[in-house]
Amino acid sequence: MRNGFRFDSITEADFYSLLCSDSKLLHIDVHPKVTIGPGIQYAPDFITYKKDEILVYDVKSPPTAKKYDFKLKKKLFDQTHPFAPLIVVMRNGKHGWKEST
């Protein structure tokens, strides 16, 4: 738990800490529910708000990022949500991060 938020993994909590360290960050939503289709709810890990930018992140481990259910949700998000694209990040080494394709 960090800043009163409960995270699904240490990796997700570490990425949250990284996002919070950005001096340009105005606000961060943690696990917000968004609609990505008729009756379809999805909760990305984070939505970050900066002065001129809104970014949506989902932190995944490689096996989870390849699951069909998640791939479908990402595709729906990217096709329907005004904050698209969904940025999927994974840990790259002990302290680095990379975007998943």
| 1 located within any domain | no
Q: What is the pTM of this model?
A: 0.89
Is 84 inside a domain boundary? Answer: yes
Count of structural domains within the chain: 1
- pLDDT tens by residue, 23-67: 999 999 999 999 998 889 999 999 999 999 999 999 988 766 667
Structural domain boundaries, residue 75: 10-99
Residue 54 CA to residue 94 CA, distance in Å, equals 27
CATH number reported for the structural domain that contains residue 80 in this entry: 3.40.1350.10
Between CA 92 and CA 78 the distance in angstroms is 24
CA dist list (Å): 18 to 21, 28, 35, 80: 5, 12, 26, 28
